[in-house]
Amino acid sequence: MVEWKKSGSPVGYEEALAFMDARVAAIHEGKAPECVWLLEHPPLYTAGTSAKGADLLERRFPVFETGRGGEYTYHGPGQRVAYVMVDLKKRGAPDIKKYVCDLERWIIGTLDGFGVKGHCAEGRIGVWVNTPTGEKKIAAIGVRVRHWVTLHGVSINVNPDLSHYNGIVPCGISEYGVTSLKDLGIDATMDDLDAALKKNFFG
């Protein structure tokens, strides 16, 4: 049984990390159920374990070093973050690569409900869409696993200020842009997206 937790106001990054650390330990010890936490952050950048200093172009917002995989990304209002804390050992043979594919399929299925055709791209983690001005990223994925329990998760752009990405090279990829549901002409609310995420969840 997965608990769905939702925060109505922006959650500080350090607060989110503290919650995930505590919840993952409790899941590992069998003291708490798995959890998906839906939230927004105030504007900030995070650096994954593969982040390169040169990809931080302008320190517009607070920058947090984090233990998740990946490089630099942006979080902020108008972006739905879903932190997924599940026990991979309870879901068959623990396989991180399969788990990342599950997250990608989850996002693609969710976007499909809004008439948006997301896809995976060889060598590029995340979910991408084709636009009149080229291929762009609409959702990012960054995960960490502790005792085979997952931390971090996904972020999907609903209607964030896309100019905030200009302070970084998102995920170390400079040749492709970023987009959002609003940028694609989809007027979806966070509640709309949350309902679709819950409906399409692979757990």
Domain CATH for 53: 3.30.930.10
pLDDT of residue 175: 85
pLDDT of residue 68: 92
Give the per-residue pLDDT at 80: 98
Domain that holds residue 148: 2-197
Q: Tell whether 202 is covered by a domain.
A: no
Number of domains in the chain: 1
Evaluate whether residue 130 is within a structural domain: yes
Is residue 173 very low, low, confident or very high in pLDDT (cuts 50, 70, 90)?
A: confident
Is residue 108 one of the residues assigned to a domain? Answer: yes
Instruction: From the candidates 35, 101, 120, 171, give the one annotated as an active-site residue.
Output: 171
Active site residue 171: yes
Q: Identify whether 178 is part of a domain.
A: yes
Instruction: Answer yes or no: is 77 within a domain.
Output: yes
Strands 79-85 and 149-157: antiparallel
Q: What is the mean pLDDT of residues 47-60?
A: 95
User: Which pLDDT score is estimated for 113?
Assistant: 97
pLDDT of residue 179: 98
Mean predicted confidence (pLDDT) in 39-60 = 96
| pLDDT grade for 192, boundaries at 50, 70 and 90 | very high
Please report which confidence band the pLDDT of residue 181 belongs to, taking 50, 70 and 90 as the band edges: very high
Residue 98 backbone zone (phi > 0: left; psi -120 to 50: alpha; other: beta)? alpha
Spatial distance between the Cα atoms of 187 and 202, rounded to a whole number of angstroms: 25
Instruction: Report the alpha-carbon distance of residue 43 to residue 24 in Å, rounded.
Output: 25
What pLDDT was estimated at residue 92? 84
Residue 25 lies in a domain: yes
**CA atoms of 85 and 167, how far apart (whole Å):** 29
Tell me if 203 is assigned to some domain.
Answer: no
Summarize the confidence of residues 143-159 as an average pLDDT: 97
- For residue 3, the cross-strand partners are 35
**Angle, vertex CA 110, rays to CA 105 and CA 111, nearest 5:** 100
Give percent above pLDDT 70 in the chain: 100
Task: Please report whether residue 168 resides in a domain.
Answer: yes
More confident residue, 93 or 141: 141
Instruction: Return the residue matching tokens 């987009």.
Output: 179
